[in-house]
Structure 1
Amino acid sequence: MNEYDLDILRLHTQGFCCAQIVVQMALEMQGAENPGLIRAMSGLCVGFSSARGACGALTGAACLIAYYAGKGTADEQAHDRLPLMLTELADWFEEYATERFGGMACSAIVPYGKPDASICGGLVSECFGRAMTILVENGFDPSSDVHE
């Protein structure tokens, strides 16, 4: 068990999916709430509603990185390292998931693309941890308000 597992379990029992949990955990680290963002994240649940789609823990982690480094207003610019950070995440996940499950799609990871807490919880934890590591290594402070 790692430092994220209890939060993941709590959010899962509240009915949130993998992609929502990844972003909600980051918001909680900031002491922030953004129900609209969490609702939007539900579009990525369960391979974005197709078991053939990419794992929601991965797409949620990509959104988490972009939450910190992406363009959010007309006056902002995306961080120049955003594409590299997303590539690092995707390359890591492809190797991780392919080695363990034979692919990156929901259906490769869990039978019939049906979420399984014993598998998905670990993936959410790994993806959240990897996204946090990538952010910190690129000079972001995940506990600060990205909109300051």
Structure 2
Amino acid sequence: MIDIAERVSELADEKYCCSQIVMTIGLEVLQKENEDLVKSMKGLCKGLYCQNLCGILSAAACVLSLHMVDYVIVLAPQLVDWFKKQYGSLNCSDLLEWNKSNPYFCMKMMTETIEYTLQLLEDSELLLEGNRYS
């Protein structure tokens, strides 16, 4: 398993934006590459470039869909609920304003959100496996 915080830092150093970082790591977990998909994720960065819905959250929802398209309807709301409880808002502008004294806040959010997203996927796969034989 990769060290997510370290990988987030590496990709940030390569000038990937938040949503591109989340998707790149999501693809790496699947052991896939898709440069066009990663490139397209730039459209979600910086709250859709107008400080609205956080690109980290929207990219994490895309990762859920990429891994478990049939179950994203259940998993995405769980992700959104967790994110809002964890950070207090879904909007980039709020998150940046409240944490402007911490330049590493977005990196921390990326790491925690990726970890939670992967945990959601792992838990869901275990539940599905368990239900196959019941």
TM-score by length of 1: 0.76
2:18 alignment partner AA: C
Deviation at 1:69, TM superposition (A): 1.7
**What is the aligned partner in structure 2 of residue 43 from structure 1?**
43
Which residue number corresponds to residue 131 of structure 1?
117
State the AA in 2 paired with 1:34.
Answer: N
Q: 1:38 to 1:120 in 2, by over 3 A?
A: same
1:14 aligns with 2:20: no
TM-score by length of 2: 0.84
Q: Structure 1 stretches (4+) deviating beyond 4 angstroms?
A: none
Tell me the equivalent position of 2:129.
none
1:122 is matched with which residue?
108
**Which one-letter code corresponds to 1:55 in the other structure?**
C
* Residue among 63, 76, 79 paired with 1:89: 79
> 1:29 Cα shift?
2.7
Query: Could you tell me which amino acid in structure 1 is paired with residue 72 of structure 2?
Result: L
- Match for residue 95 of structure 2? 109
Query: Displacement of 1:117 after TM fit?
Result: 4.7
C-alpha distance in 1 between matches for 2:75 and 2:112: 16
Q: Which has the higher helix share?
A: 2
How many equivalent pairs are there?
124
Taking the aligned partners of 2:92 and 2:72, their CA distance within structure 1 comes to 25
**CA displacement, residues 114-144 of structure 1 (integer Å, 9 cap, x when unaligned):** 8x7501000001110111011111117xxxx
Identity rate of aligned residues, in percent?
26
Q: Which residue of 1 aligns with 2:59?
A: 60
Gaps of 5+ in 2: 127-134
Q: Which amino acid aligns with 1:56?
A: G
Q: Cα RMSD over matched residues? A: 2.2
**In structure 2, what residue type is equivalent to 1:124?**
M
Name the SS for the 1:138 alignment partner.
Answer: helix
